[in-house]
Structure 1
């Protein structure tokens, strides 16, 4: 949620943010109108309540004739106060809806534009396309790592089984991610993957991307698409104290996405699926420390990609491709030889105080006053990484070399085709 006082004092920066995202700035005017209506309703209610109290005091001192008139007025005021109170409730709901329709502000440093208007910050590693290059599905099938057919038979399209070394390879990667996170001060967590509406709404996922989320209507619960949601909700309604150092968590969870609107995209293999596993970093910090923490999370992601020994690039995501909560986002995209292009493997977002305002997560500032914390998130490893690992480490004979960092977890140096 945005800062209402900041919106009143400087609406132009919010209009500029929406325009940078490629969205209409009318939502700013709607929020300001709703705010004005609510403030007017409150003022009317408070005026009527004051009149009601004043008349009540006058009754005790009034003569009989005046008292009758005042009692009649009291009855009128009681109904007027009741109507005004109802108007306050309606205007508050309208204001809440209008404010929640506004996304976070956009960093001045984020590129303007849409999905294709990102800025490439750097390339790491040499890209190449192996002779007789196979894609990850062909490799994974020959190596006995995936079973897409039985996944579809059991659950439908975009589902799969990870089998044998495929399951072990993912566990190796995720265990390494948890090890790296713990070494850098993150508290490992296995959070719930079913959350209440207030947790999903609090993180900003029930806006324009609500169609991506699985909803269990009977239970009024949502399946998470990232453990960012339960990790953000972990401290909801709490005060984190001085917060002199960031509080960091690393959540390992299964994630679920409907992939609404992606019909026909990436239907081959495990690039775009409905269920996957992920280790997600999440930080709470003071707002003034958020930019530095954002760079730090990006550094953790890059270190993990380096351990996977895959070429990648880092992009500064354009404003139009930011999520509702994100102020700025960096993506790491790995080279996928079979497609001869880079594909997203990680993202890390600085959400400033946007989520904390919705979830009421506060800290004590240097003056001892309550203030909203900043929240940040970032991917440390996920199922899609198997695509880049297999394709970049494939050999002419169909075997795949296991990245050195994964060998202690997997217990082998290479994966060989099954007969």
Structure 2
């Protein structure tokens, strides 16, 4: 949730954020009205309870007819207190419900607009010129015995797959390389649960506009995570952290599950858009004033990983209308996919400011010992989709694939993955 003080003291900032996201700014006025009702009802209930307390003292000292009169007055006052508390509860519930639906305030430097209104911050590397017709990642993957979509669909349905042989080794190599880099940079490695309680999923902001993406196990009332950001965010829920020595950094390795609702007909070939994949995700708790610098560090660590797989990529500043509910700003790294003649997302890193931590009750003590709300950030270090970029950018004319040098130790020293019919 956004800070209620921001809503009260600078509502125009929240209105501007809503406009930038393409969302209804009228919700701000509705929240301000509910907040005023809530605060007024709290004051009224407090005043009546104070009167009730004073009346109780008078009753204790009174006798005879005076006591009977005061008891009657007390009964009437108790009814008023009950009514005032019901009004307080109603107003608070209405405010809280709407407040939780309000997305994070967009960073002022983030571009306005929708999915296509991003700003390109830089290009790294040059797309390769092929002297042959390049194959797409699925043809290459099937050729070298790395991907089996047909049997994945037979076993589990559309958008499922098997990574086989060198495909499994490619994924494990990528994720191990990411885990090794994360550990070298001071992250604590984590293998978190992939099923979480509703309050944790809601706390990270994934049960609002994106709830259709989430798998729900109704009998257990648990959710399958679409990213280890979710359990890592919940790891310190309702805790007060020690951030005196700097940020707390975690790197979670997990399987991830997404329903891909609304993506019918999109990326149906291969493993670009699937229901299950594996990922190493960075997650950070830090002081709010350190969040922007930490965001740049996360982006830098993502680029370090992309350099290791040696593919052309660009960095974009995602437009406000394409941000997730919790993100104030997001940078994506998109790799060049030769057969699509397009850049496709491989990593993203989001600064969620205090939005998630406020919902999850994650705090730290400031220099005066007072509890304050932490900031949270996340960023991808490697995921199954990276195999797409590796196969297509490093393919050879005969359907073989050159292994990026940094990955060779994770594939037994092999320099080239050759078709299985040889």
159-168 vs 73-82, which moves further = 73-82
1:4 matched residue in structure 2: 4
Q: CA offset at residue 63 of structure 1?
A: 4.6
- Which TM-score applies when normalising by structure 1? 0.98
Q: Structure 2: how far apart are the matches of 1:242 and 1:138?
A: 49
1:277 matched residue in structure 2: 278
Q: CA offset at residue 241 of structure 1?
A: 1.9
Q: Is the 8 A contact 2:243 2:286 kept in 1?
A: no
RMSD value, Cα:
1.1
Q: Structure 1: how far apart are the matches of 2:239 and 2:222?
A: 22
Question: Structure 2 matches for 1:120-269, cutoff 5 A?
Answer: 120-130=120-130, 131-269=132-270
Q: CA offset at residue 24 of structure 1?
A: 1.2
1:356 matched residue in structure 2: 357
Question: Structure 2 matches for 1:312-327, cutoff 5 A?
Answer: 312-327=313-328
Q: Structure 1: how far apart are the matches of 2:115 and 2:384?
A: 23
Q: CA offset at residue 238 of structure 1?
A: 1.0
Q: Structure 2: how far apart are the matches of 1:63 and 1:363?
A: 53
Q: Structure 1: how far apart are the matches of 2:189 and 2:36?
A: 45
Query: SS state of the match for residue 83, structure 2?
Result: helix
290-299 vs 360-369, which moves further = 360-369
Q: Structure 2: how far apart are the matches of 1:368 and 1:170?
A: 45
2:386 matched residue in structure 1: 385
2:420 matched residue in structure 1: 418
Q: Structure 2: how far apart are the matches of 1:85 and 1:217?
A: 34
240-249 vs 332-341, which moves further = 240-249
Q: Structure 1: how far apart are the matches of 2:55 and 2:183?
A: 66
Q: Is the 8 A contact 1:111 1:117 kept in 2?
A: yes
Q: Structure 2: how far apart are the matches of 1:328 and 1:138?
A: 36
2:117 matched residue in structure 1: 117
Q: Is the 8 A contact 2:175 2:280 kept in 1?
A: yes
Q: Structure 1: how far apart are the matches of 2:60 and 2:121?
A: 76
Q: Structure 2: how far apart are the matches of 1:34 and 1:155?
A: 47
Q: CA offset at residue 93 of structure 1?
A: 1.4
Q: CA offset at residue 127 of structure 1?
A: 0.4
Aligned length, in residue pairs = 419
Query: SS state of the match for residue 338, structure 1?
Result: helix
Q: Summarize deviations over 1:144-189 as a string: whole Å, max 9, x none.
A: 1111111111111000010111001100010000000000000010
Question: Can you give the 5+ residue segments of structure 2 that lack an aligned partner in the other structure?
Answer: none
Question: Structure 2 matches for 1:45-64, cutoff 5 A?
Answer: 45-64=45-64
Question: Structure 2 matches for 1:36-51, cutoff 5 A?
Answer: 36-51=36-51
1:401 matched residue in structure 2: 402
Judged with a 3 Å threshold, the aligned counterparts in structure 2 of structure 1 residues 367 and 213 are, in CA distance, closer, same or farther, namely same
The answer as to 2:30 corresponding to 1:23 is no
Q: Structure 1: how far apart are the matches of 2:243 and 2:386?
A: 37
Query: SS state of the match for residue 269, structure 1?
Result: coil
Q: Structure 2: how far apart are the matches of 1:404 and 1:225?
A: 30
Q: CA offset at residue 90 of structure 1?
A: 2.0
Q: Structure 2: how far apart are the matches of 1:62 and 1:364?
A: 49
Q: Structure 2: how far apart are the matches of 1:57 and 1:198?
A: 43
Q: Summarize deviations over 1:185-206 as a string: whole Å, max 9, x none.
A: 0001000000001111111111
Query: SS state of the match for residue 304, structure 1?
Result: helix
2:69 matched residue in structure 1: 69
The answer as to 2:87 corresponding to 1:87 is yes
Q: Structure 2: how far apart are the matches of 1:129 and 1:30?
A: 56
Q: CA offset at residue 66 of structure 1?
A: 2.3
106-115 vs 80-89, which moves further = 80-89
1:333 matched residue in structure 2: 334
- Which TM-score applies when normalising by structure 2? 0.97
Question: Can you give the 5+ residue segments of structure 1 that lack an aligned partner in the other structure?
Answer: none
Q: CA offset at residue 87 of structure 1?
A: 2.2
